[in-house]
Structure 1
Amino acid sequence: MSRILDTVAPRRLGVPFRWVLASSWVSQVGDGIALAAGPLLVASQTDEAFLVALAALLQWAPPLLFGLYAGALTDRLDRKLIVAGVNLVRIAVLMLLTLSVATDMVSIWLVLLALFLIGTAEMFADNAASTLLPMIVHRDDLAIANARITTGFITVNQLAGPPVGAALFAAGMAWPFATQALLVLVGLSLFTQVRLPPHGRDPAARTHIRHDIAEGFRWVRRHAAVRTLVLTIFTFNITFGAAWSVLVLYATERLGLGAVGFGLVTTVTAVGGLLGTLTYGWLTRRVSLGDIMRVGLVLETLVHLALALTTSPWVAMPVFFVFGTHAFVWGTTSTTVRQRAVPLELQGRVGSVNLVGVFGGLVVGAGIGGLLAQHHGVTAPFWFAFAGSAVFLVLIWRQLTHIAHADEAPVPG
């Protein structure tokens, strides 16, 4: 057992990292269950494409609305208390949602409100949690630490969680949300064991929160690699958000999959992510970061085209597999680049700027996708995603070379 533990979380990463890893993996099981159960609950309450897309939008909106403030608070306050406090809020909302479903008092508007509140709590927790690894892990070990966190995300959140969530939903609509609440609680109890060092901010510093937010924006603007990452993720998430916001309808109507089949879509994507996990070290030793990003974005563009064309699950599933590989490589690279480059006291604010880019694109894309699907059919968002991705790729192609300089010394805050 000790040897397995040392393989998964090497001793040099430290005991605090092991607690963070355990907490993350347990919580991710619950989030993976909700990944399938949430859209299925929405679909059980309405068959209107716009409302289905609105559900995705409401989960993606909190970072856009509150993300910059979350980043500033993460750099001002105790990051451990932020993670613990908002997870308690998330547990409470999940329990209320479970009760409403179990007593048959649920409605589409109640579900949408719950998804928005849960998304808001997750956003505050995720922003604070994203700053923890640079506090407890050496800079040279950030890549492996992020890979371990992401491996857990893929295996338990995207691989194991969705089929379990779909099966629990089929057994009883309240079961997946009750299970998620319990798992978040267990993950929180593990997280309370973490001991964190100070995160670099002078306790006596007194600045307005708008000044802190502006400082984060200025830092991103001056750092070419991080600036390019934010720009790229924003533009491509518009197209991704348009297509994926109606994925549950695409899977059930276009591909003819049921509830469990929809869960398998995420599972296949996660299996592709596992391939990315196994080959990531080999890949980054042989291919430049700029070229990795270029190839990945070309693949993402072609994924949208393939899904727009096919009606066969046997064709779509390999496409989702390829996308999963790309998503892991992209996510691990961008996170490591940002964490290595950003000063400790600015991690929250710069992370929030990146988060606004991530979810700003998703929100815009979800709105576009819902309208297109409502008026032109469920494949229209995928055609938009293909055309938009191709145009964006041409526009930012040269800017991707900045990522080649991602390992330069941090820019002073």
Structure 2
Amino acid sequence: MRTLLSARLGADFAKLWAASAVSNIGDGITMAAGPLLVASVSSDPALIAGAAFAQQLPWLLFALVSGAYVDRLDRRRLVVAVNLARAVALAALAVTIATETVTVAVIYAVVFLLGTGETLADTAMNALLPSVVVADKLPAANARLYATFTIGNQFAAKPLGAWLFVIAAAAPFGLNALTFAVSAALVAGIRPTSAPQPQPRASLRGEIIEGMRWLWRHQLLRTLAASMGLGNIAFCAAFAVFVLYSRQRLGLSDLGYGFLLTTFAVGGLLGTAIAARLVRAVGSAAVLRTGLVVEVVTHVTLAVTTSPWVAAGILIVFSIHGMVWGVTVASLRQRLVPSHLLGRVGSGYALLDLGGATLGSLLGGVLASAWEITTPFWIAAVMMTVIAVVAWRPLARAAL
């Protein structure tokens, strides 16, 4: 596999791909073991939920600032430094677990540091890719990275993380520390073929404003960013109550619910397999427009069906679209945004993405409590219809 990647996308991409694969497995292990760790320390549901919020909070607080620093600093060295720092934090957490001195406060502090590092490393990795892979290979490169995430993080790592926690509670966190160290070593070996040209240095606030202003003035990327943010409000409002929907509407058991969730991973994996070829065959504009239609159809189907099989089928289609959309948008952004602005524009996307998801999750529970369990899906369908109508013409520019 590595030889094939090196031949088609270059040896440096092979290192980047391997680093992403290793760290994604480590992240998935911690995602499974983390809630188990908090639950072993406290039975308070609020404290358990708070750990997830502590890891998400840095994106709301630091996303734009992190993007500015990604554009200021050497991106390769930044990823290496952040991954080493995350390795140290996880190793320290593993020691407190092994010595039975771990507390909720310690867990919160570590996951907050991990989340902060994520705002820097993820943004820098996305901005680093165009300096490693030539422009016309970006869709293929992004598809491989997305596939790695789906296989490593979603399929393999989570059951492994739970199993390791049962064997030895400190083991999954120690292993994740090792994956970050290996990832840092791999990225350190990359020699980008291009780098951002030096730009006149402004204040941090001025640099952030420059990036957001550039994004706002670019019609296509502005449309995509707004569609992503509003679309995540619709999606997360509907899927925030998905476990209750599965029980009450589809009549599934907890085990059935777990199997239904695997449709996201199955569809995502299929999406990564066809994304680059689909973009080449029909063009970015057709892919993006079709994606908006798929979103509307998905929400309507889930609102009207009571069949688990129909729900599973439409979720696979939706997940294929989600992966193809992600690959297409990431590749467009990496090709259209000037290299020295990639970090700031990318962090602006991330802020809209997470902000929409957070707002949608809050709205979903309120809507389902006030009306019916299917109400969030109907509202999501209406929202996505409006988004599709407004975005339809601007998305034609993706063909250019």
TM-score for the superposition, normalised by structure 1: 0.82
The question of whether the paired residues in 2 share the 8 Å contact of 1:60 and 1:362 is answered with no
Question: What is the CA–CA distance in structure 2 between the aligned matches of 1:386 and 1:314, rounded to whole Å?
Answer: 20
CA deviation string 1:178-213 (max 9, x = no partner): 22222122111111111235522326x231111111
Moved more, 349-358 or 305-314: 305-314
Specify which of 2, 13, 18 is matched with residue 17 of structure 1. Answer: 13
Q: State the partner residue of 1:363.
A: 358
Q: Which amino acid aligns with 2:138?
A: L
How far has the Cα of 1:42 moved from its partner?
Answer: 5.0
CA 338–322 in structure 1, closer or farther in 2 if over 3 Å, else same: same
Question: What is the CA–CA distance in structure 2 between the aligned matches of 1:24 and 1:316, rounded to whole Å?
Answer: 32
The question of whether the paired residues in 2 share the 8 Å contact of 1:52 and 1:370 is answered with no
| Residue 159 (1) aligns with residue 165 (2) | no
Question: What is the CA–CA distance in structure 1 between the aligned matches of 2:244 and 2:176, rounded to whole Å?
Answer: 24
| Residue 406 (1) aligns with residue 398 (2) | yes
Question: What is the CA–CA distance in structure 2 between the aligned matches of 1:304 and 1:340, rounded to whole Å?
Answer: 32
How far has the Cα of 1:171 moved from its partner?
Answer: 3.8
Matches within 5 A, 1:22-41: 22-41=18-37
Matches within 5 A, 1:205-220: 205-220=200-215
How far has the Cα of 1:320 moved from its partner?
Answer: 4.2
Q: Which amino acid aligns with 2:24?
A: Q
Question: What is the CA–CA distance in structure 1 between the aligned matches of 2:307 and 2:98, rounded to whole Å?
Answer: 36
The question of whether the paired residues in 1 share the 8 Å contact of 2:97 and 2:170 is answered with yes
How far has the Cα of 1:26 moved from its partner?
Answer: 1.1
The question of whether the paired residues in 2 share the 8 Å contact of 1:52 and 1:245 is answered with no
SS, match of residue 406 in structure 1: helix
The question of whether the paired residues in 2 share the 8 Å contact of 1:53 and 1:245 is answered with no
The question of whether the paired residues in 2 share the 8 Å contact of 1:68 and 1:349 is answered with yes
| Residue 289 (1) aligns with residue 284 (2) | yes
CA 29–71 in structure 1, closer or farther in 2 if over 3 Å, else same: same
SS, match of residue 127 in structure 2: coil
Structure 1: segments with no counterpart, 5+ residues: 409-413
Question: What is the CA–CA distance in structure 1 between the aligned matches of 2:27 and 2:398, rounded to whole Å?
Answer: 31
The question of whether the paired residues in 2 share the 8 Å contact of 1:53 and 1:366 is answered with no
Sequence identity, in percent?
41
Q: State the partner residue of 1:411.
A: none
Matches within 5 A, 1:337-376: 337-369=332-364
Q: State the partner residue of 1:5.
A: 2
CA 241–184 in structure 1, closer or farther in 2 if over 3 Å, else same: farther
Q: State the partner residue of 1:394.
A: 386
The question of whether the paired residues in 2 share the 8 Å contact of 1:90 and 1:122 is answered with no
CA 299–41 in structure 1, closer or farther in 2 if over 3 Å, else same: farther
Alignment root-mean-square deviation, CA: 3.4
Question: What is the CA–CA distance in structure 1 between the aligned matches of 2:190 and 2:156, rounded to whole Å?
Answer: 26
Specify which of 330, 336, 339 is matched with residue 335 of structure 1. Answer: 330
Q: Which amino acid aligns with 1:400?
A: W
| Residue 73 (1) aligns with residue 69 (2) | yes
Question: What is the CA–CA distance in structure 1 between the aligned matches of 2:162 and 2:206, rounded to whole Å?
Answer: 45
The question of whether the paired residues in 2 share the 8 Å contact of 1:19 and 1:193 is answered with yes
| Residue 239 (1) aligns with residue 234 (2) | yes
Q: Which amino acid aligns with 1:340?
A: R
The question of whether the paired residues in 1 share the 8 Å contact of 2:38 and 2:107 is answered with yes
Structure 2: segments with no counterpart, 5+ residues: none
| Residue 192 (1) aligns with residue 188 (2) | yes
CA 311–359 in structure 1, closer or farther in 2 if over 3 Å, else same: same
Q: State the partner residue of 1:90.
A: 86
The question of whether the paired residues in 2 share the 8 Å contact of 1:61 and 1:363 is answered with no
The question of whether the paired residues in 1 share the 8 Å contact of 2:234 and 2:384 is answered with no
Question: What is the CA–CA distance in structure 2 between the aligned matches of 1:299 and 1:340, rounded to whole Å?
Answer: 25
How far has the Cα of 1:81 moved from its partner?
Answer: 1.9
How far has the Cα of 1:114 moved from its partner?
Answer: 3.2
CA 384–261 in structure 1, closer or farther in 2 if over 3 Å, else same: closer
Matches within 5 A, 1:242-261: 242=237, 255-257=252-254
CA deviation string 1:85-114 (max 9, x = no partner): 221222233223334444555555554443
Question: What is the CA–CA distance in structure 2 between the aligned matches of 1:207 and 1:230, rounded to whole Å?
Answer: 25
CA deviation string 1:201-240 (max 9, x = no partner): 326x231111111111121112111111110111122233
SS, match of residue 229 in structure 1: helix
How far has the Cα of 1:162 moved from its partner?
Answer: 2.1
Aligned residues: 397
CA 278–198 in structure 1, closer or farther in 2 if over 3 Å, else same: closer
The question of whether the paired residues in 1 share the 8 Å contact of 2:292 and 2:388 is answered with no
Matches within 5 A, 1:246-325: 255-257=252-254, 262=258, 267-303=262-298, 317-325=312-320
Question: What is the CA–CA distance in structure 2 between the aligned matches of 1:266 and 1:28, rounded to whole Å?
Answer: 19
Question: What is the CA–CA distance in structure 1 between the aligned matches of 2:304 and 2:47, rounded to whole Å?
Answer: 25
CA 292–32 in structure 1, closer or farther in 2 if over 3 Å, else same: same
Q: State the partner residue of 1:221.
A: 216
Question: What is the CA–CA distance in structure 1 between the aligned matches of 2:246 and 2:144, rounded to whole Å?
Answer: 30
Question: What is the CA–CA distance in structure 2 between the aligned matches of 1:178 and 1:265, rounded to whole Å?
Answer: 31
TM-score for the superposition, normalised by structure 2: 0.85
Q: Which amino acid aligns with 1:209?
A: L
CA 274–207 in structure 1, closer or farther in 2 if over 3 Å, else same: same
Question: What is the CA–CA distance in structure 2 between the aligned matches of 1:295 and 1:124, rounded to whole Å?
Answer: 32
CA 40–372 in structure 1, closer or farther in 2 if over 3 Å, else same: farther
CA 85–269 in structure 1, closer or farther in 2 if over 3 Å, else same: same
CA deviation string 1:117-163 (max 9, x = no partner): 21111111001111111112211111111112122112212222223
